[in-house]
Amino acid sequence: MASAKQLALPLVKPGDEPVAGKRENSHSVQPSPWMARVLSRDNLNRALKQVRRNKGAPGIDGMNVDGLPDYLRQHWPEIRQQLLQQTYRPKPVRRVTIPKANGGSRPLGIPTVVDLDLEAFFDRVNHDRLMTRLKRHTPDRPLLRLINRYLKAGVQIDHHKEPTLEGVPQGGPLSPVLASVVLDELDWELERRNLHFARYADDCQIHVGSCRAGERVMVSLTRFIEDSLRLTVNTRKSAVDRPWKRSFLGFTLSRKGQRLKVASKAITKLKTQIRILSRRTRGHSLARVIADLKETLLGWKAYFDEAEELSPLRDLDKWIRRRMRSYVWKQWGRRGYRELRKRGVSVRLAWNTAKSAHGPWRLSHSPALRHALPARLFRSYGLPELAVR
**CA–CA gap between residue 209 and residue 257 (Å, rounded):** 17
pLDDT of amino acid 28: 58
pLDDT value, residue 1: 39
Residues sharing a CB contact under 8 Å with residue 208, sequence separation 6 or more, in sequence order: 112, 113, 114, 195, 196, 214, 217
Judging by DSSP bridges, how do beta strands 155-157 and 93-94 pair with one another? parallel
Q: What integer pLDDT is reported at residue 62 of this predicted model?
A: 66
**Cα 312 to Cα 330: distance, rounded to the nearest angstrom:** 27
CA angle, 303 then 306 then 307, to 5°: 100
Give yes or no for residue 372 having a pLDDT over 90.
Answer: yes
Q: What is the mean pLDDT of residues 205-226?
A: 92
The pLDDT mean for the chain works out to 81
- Say what the pLDDT of residue 96 is: 57
Specify whether the CB–CB gap between 289 and 324 falls below 8 A: yes
Q: Which of 59-68, 105-114, 190-199, 243-252 has the lowest mean pLDDT?
A: 105-114
Q: Using an 8 Å Cβ cutoff, are 118 and 55 in contact?
A: no
pLDDT classification of 6: cutoffs 50, 70, 90 = very low
The b/e string for 87-112 (b: 16+ C-beta within 10 A; e otherwise) is eeeeebbbbeeeeeeeeeeebeeeeb
Within 8 A by CB and 6+ apart from 260, the residues are 251, 253, 254, 306, 307, 308, 309
Residue 36: per-residue pLDDT = 79
Report which DSSP code applies to 12: -
Query: Is 252 a residue whose pLDDT tops 70?
Result: yes
